[in-house]
Amino acid sequence: MPVTGAVKHIVLIRHGESEGNVAKVYQGSDAPLTPKGREQAQRVAERVAHLRGIGLIVASDMRRARETAETIQTRTNVPLVVEPLFRERKRPSSFVRRRRDDPSVQAWERTIREHFGEPGFRFEDEETYEELVARADRALTWLAERPEQSIIVVSHGFFLRLLLARAVLQDALTPSVLLRFVYHTCLWNTGLSELHYLGEEAHYPWRLITLNDRAHFGE
């Protein structure tokens, strides 16, 4: 996986299994890792410890991502920063800690999907499509402007897929394309994806190299 020259190497990792994942609820910011999630974090930490030239670990400020990143930092001794730009998509506050299979929540979720990206629509206090894309753009700029040539990012399932889709498709990304990408791809807990950043002078600055690699589990 090492890269040379001016190409920047971004390793994107979804956090380990959390208690909210197991309970199948909409999570807040404080859901911790399960014992299995801590083991997953150890496995991915062991894997990325063999990458050459990693200069920074950046984590979402949500607990499950921070705990995963701290495990990687302990194994690698690479500096760790916490950056809220990489936190998970904000869902309606009334969803938090409610089960995903709750019929009323499912009905509300359908309403949000049907109007996703519609100008002026907001179900409650969730992030809109425009706000999510703007945050993804800020996150990509943050990564592009960092001096480190190789960076590990520990974040969340929806936001990482948004980040990947925006990096690759840029202005061609639309609400319907994003939902198709999100619901037709998988990012498993501690699945590893990679982007290369070739610089703004490149016709296509970002290049997707790997999606949801779980070789550290023998898969």
Q: Is 120 left (phi over 0), alpha (psi -120 to 50) or beta?
A: left
CA angle in degrees (0–180, nearest 5) for 190-68-43: 55
156 is catalytic: no
Residue indicated by tokens 């380990």:
16
88 is catalytic: yes
How far from chain centre, in Å, is Cα 205? 19
| Cα–Cα dist 18/33, whole Å | 4
Quick check: 184 and 91 in contact, CB under 8 A?
A: no
- DSSP per residue over 123-176, as a string? SSSPPPHHHHHHHHHHHHHHHHHSS-SEEEEEE-HHHHHHHHHHHHHGGG--HH
Query: Which phi and psi angles does 192 have, rounded to 5°?
Result: -115, 125
Catalytic residue among 15, 67, 148, 156: 15
- Buried b / exposed e across 46-64, counting CB within 10 Å, b at 16+? ebbeeeeebebbbbbebbb
Catalytic residue among 17, 67, 88, 148: 88
- Which one-letter DSSP state was computed for residue 89? P
- Which positions are annotated as active-site residues? 15, 88
